[in-house]
Amino acid sequence: AANILRKVATQLGLDLARVGRAVLTLPKRYGLDSLSKSYRKQGEEARLQPAS
């Protein structure tokens, strides 16, 4: 998988070191007011149920 990623990065001109650092350092953020109501309810239900 790494060799394919390297090949694609070369074709697109991406710097994998910079991409990797950005992915690791920037958390995914969601605006709570922009999420659909059903998505919020699913997250709430999952949070309230104990892990089995």
Give residue 39's pLDDT.
Answer: 63
Give residue 12's pLDDT.
Answer: 84
Note the pLDDT tens digit of each residue in 8-51.
888 888 787 776 666 666 666 767 676 666 666 676 666 666 55
CB under 8 Å to 15, separation ≥6 — which residues?
9
Q: Is the pLDDT of residue 7 over 80?
A: yes
Query: Which conformational region is residue 13 in: left (phi greater than 0), alpha (psi within -120 to 50 degrees), or beta?
Result: left
Give residue 40's pLDDT.
Answer: 61
Q: How many CA atoms lie within 13 A of 31 on its CB side?
A: 2
In the chain, domain spans: 2-48
Give residue 2's pLDDT.
Answer: 78
C-alpha distance from residue 16 to each of 6, 19, 21 (Å):
8, 5, 8
